[in-house]
Amino acid sequence: MCGIVGIVGDRPVAERLVDALKRLEYRGYDSAGVATIRDGKLERRRAEGKLFNLETKLHAEPLAGDIGIAHTRWATHGAPTETNAHPHFTDGVAVVHNGIIENFSEIKDELIAAGASFSTQTDTEVVAQLLARYRRDGMEPRQAMQTMLQRVTGAYALAVLFHDLPDTIMAARSGPPLAVGYGKGEMFLGSDAIALAPFTNEITYLIDGDWAILDRKGVAIFDHDGNRVERPKQVSVAAAYMVDKGNHRHFMEKEIYQQPEVISHALGHYVDLIENRINTNALAIDFASVQSLALSACGTAYLAGLVGKYWFERYARLPVEADVASEFRYRDIPLSKNAAALFISQSGETADTLASLRYCKDEGLKIGAVVNVRESTIARESDAVFPIMAGPEIGVASTKAFTCQLSVLAALAIGAGRARGTISQLEENRLVRHLAEMPRIMSKVLNTIQPKMESLARELSKCSDVLYLGRGTSFPLAMEGALKLKEISYIHAEGYAAGELKHGPIALIDENMPVIVIAPHDRFFEKTVSNMQEVAARGGRIIFITDEKGAAASKLETMSTIVLPNVDEIIAPMIFSLPIQLLAYHTAVFMGTDVDQPRNLAKSVTVE
């Protein structure tokens, strides 16, 4: 979600702080602010809306100071106004915060009873008020910080300035990520390594319960009880990535067209393309000894997991329990010690997914993480890490991370099948050859279907409701297509299993309702065509996404038919993802929405 940046510098920091915040825009936000210390006095600038508004304010009212903290806020408590924007000030204390202080109401009532006056609607203000109160009670900053941390509960990443400590930032983490960066005579703080990439590639990640004191000489890290601890320093790869759109209008468009390249990178890690085998060294879980698999994730990652469920059950004959993490964590599921658990997350910081992981870990399961960020909390707390190698994904609506997740899950399912003896070596060779062909086929599709998708999107942008249908692995794709469309175009869309059409959704179909049917010519094709007949009989406007065999076999009249190459079932979900991504993208462009940063959404959801 929101972003934090801090610099203990040797020169003015305001401009650098805002530049770092720009690298965190992909996380989602609705206001922003920056605070510095100059001559023992805290100063700040805040603004609603995009960072441009904050830059405009800073241009009119420059902010001096060699130390500062900055923040992009995604509203949880209180409207996205300048008053509620961070940093919050109280009596010489400045605070920025990601997360939710769960006991803020209790603390706020206590502080008001003691005479405090609150100026915002946020939960974060109680942190600044507590610190100010402890300082008035005579505590030194370090003691005040530790006492405050023992008082608040919930999820938080915090950065704090004290006006009388002009070369120190204090920070704390319980849930949302926080990284410390090392410079020459400078120190940095950020929500992730991407924010710090222009300054340093030497990073230390705080773990839950840590808090830290940064000054120009370095960092001191303490656990929740105040004991000095050491955390490993590592070289981050984030600095290698340039966050720009290139020749594309939006990051989402760029990331759609990056998919053949990044999937090639992912497959190179998991597949021996000479022997047409899965690299057994990349499996990291002994699937032969696993009796069942628990799979959990949120949003698009969950839908990737649903496709993976079909693959693990078909190729590895492995029973799979798949849940959205926000439900999984509260179900009190009885889990066998012979089970393994896979958790899928682009950021590796998703709060519900992380909580589900910890539940399974407490139950003694072997934990695997399918993540894009190897340094993330989910990766660090897992027994086995399966990187998807998509590179930074800036658009909030996931595209390349989704297909990379699918590619990795496909490789894992094939490897699991081979390890369990449920597929032969010849079948493994055949499936891997199809995986190897996928980047070439994706490039061909992307180079040929855009004009048609753009034309179709113009028509779709006039609609208020859309249905997506699919069977087998195309059912999760139908849900993903609907999710993409509503995320960025704000058109109401729903994805259904095609066989469920007659159990409710068919009541919605009339001559104004577009129905997008995803149907490669696979073992489910004839059944899906029967469902299309039901739509056609009621005047529904069918958009048919199929392959060459499917187009030849179907005689139905459609609003539009998008024809893709004939491909094997193992790679069909990745290939058929492309038209649904492009359709959502171009529809949003025609509607003039903020494609990369759609309203109310955040890239990394680090609170419940």
Q: Which domains does the chain show, CATH number per domain?
A: 3-240 (3.60.20.10), 251-423 (3.40.50.10490), 447-594 (3.40.50.10490)
Q: What stretches of 500-553 show up as alpha helix (H) in DSSP?
A: 525-537, 548-553
pLDDT for position 607: 53
Point out the catalytic residue in the list 108, 366, 484, 603: 603
Residue 329 has which token pair?
């964590």
At 175 the pLDDT is 76
Average pLDDT along the chain, 608 residues, taken 10 residues at a time: 88 94 78 94 94 94 96 84 93 92 91 93 93 96 96 91 96 88 94 85 90 96 93 73 69 91 87 86 89 94 97 96 88 83 91 91 93 88 92 88 96 96 96 92 90 92 92 95 95 91 83 90 88 83 92 86 95 97 95 87 60
Residue 11 tokens, joined: 């020169």
Q: Which residues contact 152 (CB under 8 A, 6 or more apart)?
A: 101, 103, 104, 107, 126, 127, 130
Question: What is the rounded distance in angstroms from the CA atom of residue 124 to the CA atom of residue 604?
Answer: 19
Q: Given 2, 298, 360, 404, which residue is catalytic?
A: 2
Beta bridge partners of 495: 468
CA distances from 268 to 326, 344, 384 (A): 33, 20, 18
- 502 among known catalytic residues: no
Which helix (H) or strand (E) segment is 433 a member of? Answer: helix 425-460
603 counts as catalytic: yes
Give me the pLDDT at residue 604, please. 60
Cα gap 272→360, rounded to integer Å: 32
Q: What sections of 363-424 are H helices per DSSP?
A: 377-380, 400-420
Q: Give the model's pLDDT for residue 240.
A: 45
Instruction: Say what the pTM is.
Output: 0.75
Gap between the Cα atoms of 404 and 195, Å rounded = 23
Q: Residues for the chain: how many in total?
A: 608
Which residue is it, tokens 């879980």? 285
pLDDT for the residue 243: 57
CA angle (106, 109, 110) in 5-degree steps = 85
Please name which of 551, 496, 491 lies closest in space to residue 520, comparing C-alpha atoms. 551
pLDDT (0 to 100) of residue 242: 47
* Distance, CA of 558 to CA of 580 (rounded, Å): 17
* Amino acid 234: pLDDT: 85
